[in-house]
Every structure is written in structure tokens, then in C-alpha cells.
Amino acid sequence: MAQDAEQDSQKTVGTQHSTAGAYVTGEEFTRDTNYIEDRVVADVGAAAAAPREEGSTIGDPRLAGLTEGADAWPVEPGRYRLVAARACPWAHRSIIVRRLLGLEDVISLAAPGPVHDVRSWTFDLTEDGRDPVLGTERLQENYFARFPDYPRGITVPALVDVPSGGVVTNNYPQLTFDLSTQWRAHHRAGAPDLIPDEQIEEMLPVIKRIFTEVNNGVYRCGFAGSQRAYEEAYDRLFTALDWLEDGLADRRYLMGETITEADVRLFTTLVRFDAVYHGHFKGNRNKLTEMPNLWAYARDLFQTPGFGDTVDFDQIKRHYYVVHEDVNPTQIVPKGPELASWLTAHGREALGGSPFGAGTAPGPVAPEERPPGANPLYGQG
């Protein structure tokens, strides 16, 4: 009963802060890719002096400088707090990379709850409803601390400067690349190389197609405002998933024998597919569990330390089904699907390779960062 009351109290239908009209805004869904493009870098002077860089919807690990109007901030352990909701796939990738690289003691983590209204994500999972480090109730406050009346969406992940309380960047495509390149001096011993130099040229087009056709493709289906736009988005999505299904038939990971940034970016969509994208976003040609190579690949990653141990299926479902009033006005959250199959044998070892190559797996998730909701790795759900 308490859980029912909590869920009812967070419903926004009919209130002044309803999200109705915030997601389905036209015939075709177009993602706003204008972000705060400041960077935290190892050498502020060098980044500021380098030639201006062009922005990118997927980021680029080779960037030496800044985009027009952006500022450089110094790498400084303990200075920044990563605000990353476990429900959000874009934020989830930063949680995974932070964990794989062993940056937990260097960049602290704030995890907002999964349900929010049209204003912003809230720190409602804490006892007093405030982030214990930032002292704020809403991430919106941290955006306004830097940019009063910030005009765009209050998105996660956001890297916040703890001393000022202001957001440094919400440019999530570049953020994870920078965690690998700019924070290298603070990586754990045995941290994997997620962006091997010799694979960058091959990897970036793969990441680009995954972003446009899969990561964002599910949203084009879910937030389509017409039958035509939906069907075109649906066809594009499954064309890309078929391409991935074929490509993973004879290689264990997207780029070969070890995990890379490309795998992180695909995983956060795959792990949400049957729980939300198949039904809620109408990506229902088939389930992930009905695509043998992709399903085995997703289970392989889920069972790899740093991936599945960061997943919270309860928060994922509550976010999509409660927040997206345009798609699910009743805000009823489905009970399924079952989760135990995520731990079944995947057989991908037969393809060779190992997830961390010459590196090692990260240690156990710290108790205070363990996802509180459904996850079969923790015997929940």
C-alpha cells in the first residue's frame, strides 16, 4: 500500500507540472542535441589554445580543443559530481564507464529518482529529498546556478562543479570519451582501454549508426506523432538491429575481442528493449530475446562486471511508463518481463576474446551505489 501511495503521489496527469505535450511534439521526433559543451580536461591551457573544434552528436575521443564558446575546466579529483539517473540510457552509459575505469573515488555519483515532472529530475531517493553533497532538491537548481533561466531541457547526465553547485557540462556523448582520455591518470589499475587508438577510425562510424538508428531510433518510434513517421522509424530501427544481429554472429563484441565504448553505448538500449521499447515505444517486430545473437551478446555484457550490476529495472520501467504521459497517460507500470533469463548461459565464450583484454574486471559495486530496484544479479525481481 505504501508503494501504491508513493506512485500515486508522483503522478503528474492534470497538474500544472504535467509532462503532456513535452515528448510527442510533432509528426517526427527530433532530438535536441545542443548541449553545454564545456569540457573537463587534463591540460586546460592546451585545450584553450588548440584550434576550435566542431561539435558532434556522438563525441570524438581525439578532440584536442573546445567548440566555439565552450570553456575548459581542470581535472581535479573530488571536485565534480556526476548526476546520472539510473533510469536514463544516456546517463547509464556514464555510470558504466565511470565504474569500468575505476573513477568512483574520483568523481562522486548522485542518482536522481526515476520519476520527474516537466521541470526536472529530483533527488527524491534520499531521506530528506535533497542531494547530500549538492544540497539541492532538483537538478534544475544546479543548471540555474550556472545559467539562470536555462532555456533547454534539464538533462542527465550532468557533471556538476561541487564548490559552485553549477553544471559544468551535460554533453553526454563527449563526457564518456573524456572520462577515458582526460581522466586517465586517475584510472584504476587494470582499467580497460575503451577507445583503442587502432580502432577509433572503425569504431566511430559504428557508434554513429548505433546512435542514429538504435539509441535514438527507439525514441523516434515511441515519440512519433503520425503513423507514417512511426512506421518509417520502426523500419529503420529493425534494419539496424538486423545489421547488428548479423555482425555479432562471428565476433564476441562490436569491435572484436574486447569491450569498447561502442558496446557500452549499445548495451544501455538493449537492456531496456524488452522492458520498455518493445511495448511502450511500439518496437514490437520482435523482442530482444527473439534475436539469438543480440540476446546472447546482451546477456554476455549483463553478466560482465560493470554492466549488469549497474542496472535497475524498476527505475527503468517507472521512468518511461510514468513520465511519458504522451505515450502512457494512465501511468500504469507493467509487472513484466521476467528477469531471471538475463543470468542464463550465453555461450559467447566460444567466439574467443575476453571482455577486459589485458586488463581486469572492476571490483564489487560499493554498497551505497548498488541499484536499489529489480536486478537478478542481486536476487531482486
Residues with a known catalytic role = 88, 219
Distance CA 36, CA 170 (A): 6
Question: 221 vs 217, 242, 320, CA distance in Å?
Answer: 6, 17, 14
Q: Which residue has the cell 536514463?
A: 88
Instruction: List the grid coordinates of 79.
Output: 571536485
Provide the pairing of β-strand 108-110 with 80-83. Answer: parallel
Helix, strand or coil, per DSSP, at residue 280: coil
Distance CA 254, CA 260 (A): 8
Cα dihedral: 235, 236, 238, 243 (round 10): 140
Question: CA nearest 334: which of 353, 349, 320?
Answer: 320
Instruction: List the grid coordinates of 205.
Output: 562510424
Instruction: List the grid coordinates of 210.
Output: 548505433
DSSP string computed for 298-335: HHHHHTSTTTGGG--HHHHHHIIIII-TTT-TT-PPP-
Helix, strand or coil, per DSSP, at residue 287: coil
Q: Is 273:287 a contact under the CB 8 Å cutoff?
A: yes
Phi, psi of 168, deg, nearest 5: -85, -50
Distance CA 373, CA 357 (A): 31
